[in-house]
Amino acid sequence: MRISIVGAGPGGLTCARILQKHGISVTVYDRDPHPQARDQGGTLDLHADDGQLALREAGLLDEFFALARPEGQEMRKLDTAGRILEHHVPAEGELFKPEIDRGLLRGMLLDSLEPGTVRWGRTLVGVGGSGELNFADGTTVETDLVIGADGAWSRVRPAVSAAVPRYSGITFLEAWFEDVDTAHPDIAALVGQGGAMAADGERCLFAQRNSGDQIRVYIVQRLPADWVGVSDTAEIRSRLLDAFSAWSPPMVRMITDNDGPYVDRPLFVLPVPHTWEHKPTVTLLGDAAHLMPPLGVGANLAMLDAAELALALAGSGTVGEAVAAYEKTMLPRAAEMARLLENGAEGLLDAPSDEGYLPFMSESVEKTITLG
């Protein structure tokens, strides 16, 4: 089998690792010129019932626990004055969903692959009718299976689906705080070792501690996708001060005292459900297949997809049979999860109530798990 994966994120790399463990040759193509070309994003929690299952199949679970931060499972619900309304402190030995920085996870996966597996600086233009890869530099690669693990704006997706992401109406504005325990001790105290969240019905602050003494704050608002319109940090900060004028000064510091510029991240989603007609030479995983609001399931589902697809390829007689078996499980699971989370980004803005408003603290969503 000639297997080609497009996208060197957690899903694509997990799939490649498990394929290689089963003696299957695979090549990963990524448009970045090298592994350190851009920031990989903040921290994520890998769940025992999906992301960790995939890492177990990859033979990397011990390495993950050596890098992960169990203390990152701490979660706080705050009011707009900074008072703690709810507080989850992980128990000793609790490992259901420890945090790991995306960059550390990607580095661990890259180190586990055979040398030369990832081909950097390869920008995909499109996928040909029989599954060949067409790159921006004019080259073409013939392959038996193209796996699109290339995220929200997948260049592989059009080979099986006409669906395109739509703006959800919710935007995240990211702010970074470095050397927080020394330079920003008040913010560090508010956030703790994990995450903290506050909302007033129209806007939300969601802060996460990362490794390396860093905190990332996500400023969540219901706004047009192009609301920023400028790159001037001072002007953006002035708009934010107007929007959060009723919040207490300690909370407002999470949007004004950041180190460096803001990063605008409008949230896009795929239609629910997103399905396609089976094609034996092309398939999708992760955000390329089921782009949803960022409520703690994206990377986990991508890695579960990756593991199930790799195991199907290792255990089936043909590539087409493997893809059909994988999609038979993945597509219904993704559709169910997407329906559950369809308006989840709106829920982030909800003000405190007796029922709470921390979707990332809930473990009530049941997933269909097929791994042994």
Q: What is the pLDDT of residue 347?
A: 83
User: 0.85 cut: is pTM over it?
Assistant: yes
Binding residues for FAD: 45, 102, 287
Determine the Cα–Cα distance for residues 307 and 320; give it in Å rounded to an integer.
Answer: 17
What residue spans define the domains of the chain? 3-73+96-165+270-343
Binding residues: 38, 45, 102, 287
Binding residues for NADPH: 38
> What proportion of the chain, given as a percentage, has pLDDT over 70?
95
With contact defined as beta carbons under 8 Å apart, do 217 and 175 qualify?
A: yes
Domain 3-73+96-165+270-343: which CATH number of 3.40.50.300, 3.40.630.10, 3.90.1150.10, 3.50.50.60:
3.50.50.60
Determine the Cα–Cα distance for residues 105 and 259; give it in Å rounded to an integer.
Answer: 24
Span 286-344, pLDDT tens digits: 999 999 988 889 999 999 999 999 999 999 999 999 999 999 999 999 999 999 998 88
